[in-house]
Structures are given as structure tokens and as C-alpha cells.
Amino acid sequence: MPTKIFWIDVPSKGKIGIMPRPRGGDWLKSEITSFQNEGVDIMVSLLTFAETEELGLCEEASLCEHCGITFYSLPIPDRNAPESILKTKITLDLLNNLSKQGKNIAIHCRQGIGRSGLIAASVLVNQSISVSEAFRRIEAARGCTVPDTAEQKEWVSSFADFISTGNRMQLS
């Protein structure tokens, strides 16, 4: 059974989903093919390099590209938040724009709760959804409380404050 993508109710044309990491090793190719069949256009991995190796996912990027899925890596240590709002905002703006263009985005970390919830919530906040509503929508899709830590939730609130104070950059 392939890894399940939990699709979130979003206002953009494209879908946004969170998920646990794909099964690695011998299962990885069939996992990526199932994501392709489900309409995933963009795969975002939040795993660190050490986790990628440990979980047998070193070929994830190349297999995604082979299946026509654009792959992005935004490593965040487990149970943590990104170090820089400004640097992460560049990726969040990109994901927001791709979603508005109708691209379907799947975001994964190890379990599809903490880091994935944080990044998905931040994309929703970037689409003018409140922090509490973003987490409510993700929890409704995922079926559990997100994210894992208070630090992760606080990061999303800080990101919302950052963009609401006029520090918004426009990507063309």
C-alpha cells in the first residue's frame, strides 16, 4: 500500500498535501510512481541528509524527476523549525506561486506531522489564511494535531507576523 497523501482544503488552484516519508529502498520507485498517478507535480522533502540516507531515500530526487515530478529539498532537523524566516520565505513564495498556477504539491518529513505541518501551514498563511485556520484545515486533513512542537507552531505565527508587517517580497 503506497504512502497516503493527506490533501488539505486550500483556496489555490493546485492541491497541497502532507504525508509521511515515502517507503525507501526497493519500495521507492513504486512509491514515486503512485505519487505521479495521484497527480503530484511537486515533491518537497524536509528530511535532513542523514535522515535521507537512513531511510533509504537517496534516489528520491532522481526518481521524482524521472517521473516528471519536480523535487525540492528543504532540510529541517526533526522536531525543529527552519533557522531563517527570510531564507525559508523564498521557498514558501515559490510553493505559493506554484500552487496558484495549479500545481499539486506534496510535502513530507518523517511522519508527516511536525515539519510538514509547519511548511504547509506557512504556505496557507502566505495565501491569506490565518494561522489558526491553517492548522485547523491541516488537522482536518491529517486526522491529528499538527505540528509536533510549540516551537514549530510559534515559527508559523512569527512567519505570519513577518509577512503582515510589510516584509513581503514578490517573486515574478
Q: What pLDDT, on a 0 to 100 scale, did the predictor assign at position 171?
A: 36
Contact by Cβ (8 Å): 117, 46: no
Beta bridge partners of 48: none
Q: Which of 71, 37, 31, 91 is nearest to 55 (CA)?
A: 31
Pairs from 83-87 (Cβ < 8 Å, separation ≥ 24): 85/155, 85/158, 85/159, 85/162
Task: Give the model's pLDDT for residue 1.
Answer: 84
| Strand partners of residue 154 | none
Give CA 137 to chain center in angstroms: 14
Residue 149 DSSP label: S
Which residues contact residue 1 at a Cβ distance below 8 angstroms, ignoring those fewer than 6 apart?
A: none
Q: Which CATH class is domain 6-161?
A: alpha beta
Report pLDDT for 168. 52
Mean pLDDT by 10 residues, the chain (172 residues): 96 98 98 98 99 99 99 98 96 98 99 99 98 99 98 98 77 34
